[in-house]
Amino acid sequence: MDQDAIIYAGPGTFKLVKKPIPTIKNGNDILIKILAASICGTDVHILANPPEYPATCGVTIGHELVGEVAEIGPEVKGFKPGDHLIMDNNLACGVCECCHTGDYNVCPNMKSLGMEIDGAFAQYCVCPETNVVKINKDVPIDRAIFAEPLNCVMGGFKKLKIMPGDKVLILGGGPIGMYYTRMFKKSGAGTVMVSEVSEFRTEYVKKSGADFVVNPVIDNLEEKVREQMPCGADIVVDCVGTLIGDALKCVRSGGTVLLFGLNSNAKQTICQCDITRKGVDVLGTFIGHNTLQAVANGLNSGLFDFEYLITHKLPLKEFGKGLEAMRSGKAFEVVLYPWDDIR
């Protein structure tokens, strides 16, 4: 039988095609019926021209999903048909030095559903049991759809030693910045300030719990930070990928800078002495790292609820409309329903 799927068809190009429903090939495989999938910023970068992230021509793109177990391989132990699940789409090799030392999230042989392997913009996909976690069936689909980006955010959050009352600066008020904002507030942060240039995003940043939002185009960011945090921020998170210089100016001596954003084309000039003399911890973070179960726990409990960020709900065949909304900057979360059962 065939299914509808959105494939990468070359630089800047996608197609809605019919592809065979995937089958279980390995003992620990799970055939997932995709209840909903969402368009990530990574998908936008994949479909840029030239592409900012590589994908294999003909592969089904997409990697953020909520699914239901349709069929299990003979070695699957923790799932049965009908269970609901969330997924980490990144498949580490398991045999390299990084994997053996526990740092599987930076495996040099990593392959990803939605880039090299058929992914989520379809009605079914296959994923190994090792990369999925069960969630309660009563968790709303529109809450659970945020699982994959939350898993990446949680990977960075896990590295931080946040204390109640900490002062936090977040550089970039896009969806990732909003996830961090709410997670910091839920974890006891005292003051959370967000730097964001878009008026459209500012309203949602405030809804996410930010105490202050600064537009660095209009105001001097460092001055605004010092007004609220005289010694600087205890923690600064760069969600953009180009702002380490601003982060070092605004962090307090002995504070922590977390670098989340990715931009391989951007180059910054920094003074290493600013790090050494101030005794600043600079941490890099990439995707989730043994954090997917924690995300499931937060979704099950209602702690992670970002439904207010869903700006578009579309059938799978209207992927192009959702993509353009993401490209225009007028969308946060675009949810696609492959069975046309828009909730």
State pLDDT tens for residues 52-99: 888 999 999 999 999 999 999 999 999 999 999 999 999 999 999 999
Widest CA span of the chain, in angstroms? 64
pLDDT at 17: 97
How far is Cα 133 from Cα 88, in angstroms, rounded to an integer? 9
Kindly report the length of the chain.
Answer: 343
pLDDT at 68: 98
User: Which residues, 6+ apart, have CB-to-CB distance to 253 below 8 Å?
Assistant: 231, 232, 278, 279, 280
Q: What is the pLDDT of residues 129-163, one digit of tens each?
A: 999 999 999 999 999 999 999 999 999 999 998 99
- Judged by DSSP in three states, 32 sits in strand
Report the pLDDT averaged over residues 187-208: 95
How far is Cα 65 from Cα 67, in angstroms, rounded to an integer? 6
Report the pLDDT averaged over residues 311-328: 96
pLDDT at 48: 92
Report the pLDDT averaged over residues 190-203: 95
Q: In this structure, how many other beta carbons lie within 10 angstroms of the beta carbon of residue 197?
A: 13
- Judged by DSSP in three states, 75 sits in coil
* 279, two tokens: 């005794």
How far is Cα 81 from Cα 98, in angstroms, rounded to an integer? 34
Q: Is the peptide bond before 315 cis (omega within 30 degrees of 0)?
A: no
Q: What is the pLDDT of residues 3-17, one digit of tens each?
A: 999 999 999 999 999
On the 0-12 / 13-18 / 19+ scale of CB atoms within 10 A, 230 is exposed
pLDDT at 266: 82
pLDDT at 53: 86
Phi, psi of 22 (to 5 degrees): -65, 160
Report the pLDDT averaged over residues 40-44: 93
Is pLDDT above 90 for 164?
Answer: yes
How far is Cα 32 from Cα 75, in angstroms, rounded to an integer? 16
**Catalytic residue numbers, as ranges:** 42, 45
How far is Cα 118 from Cα 113, in angstroms, rounded to an integer? 5
What percentage of the chain carries pLDDT values higher than 90? Answer: 93
Report the pLDDT averaged over residues 98-110: 96
How far is Cα 2 from Cα 22, in angstroms, rounded to an integer? 9
The rounded Cα 340 to chain-centroid distance in angstroms is: 24
pLDDT band at 268 (very low <50, low <70, confident <90, very high): confident
Encoded amino acid at 324, one letter: E
pLDDT at 51: 87
pLDDT band at 180 (very low <50, low <70, confident <90, very high): very high
Whole-number mean pLDDT of the chain?
Answer: 96
Encoded amino acid at 103, one letter: D
Is pLDDT above 90 for 264?
Answer: no
Report the pLDDT averaged over residues 164-172: 98
Q: In this structure, how many other beta carbons lie within 10 angstroms of the beta carbon of residue 113?
A: 25
Output the pTM of the full model: 0.94
DSSP state of 138: T
Strands (E) across the chain are located at: 2-8, 14-20, 29-39, 64-72, 84-87, 90-91, 111-112, 124-128, 132-135, 167-171, 191-195, 212-214, 233-238, 251-259, 281-284, 310-315, 333-337
Asked whether the beta carbons of 279 and 253 are under 8 A apart, the reply is yes
Is pLDDT above 90 for 263?
Answer: no
Asked whether the beta carbons of 7 and 15 are under 8 A apart, the reply is yes
* 32, two tokens: 């997932």
Encoded amino acid at 141, one letter: I
Spell out the domains of the chain, with CATH numbers in brackets.
2-151+288-337 (3.90.180.10), 160-284 (3.40.50.720)
Report the pLDDT averaged over residues 279-300: 97
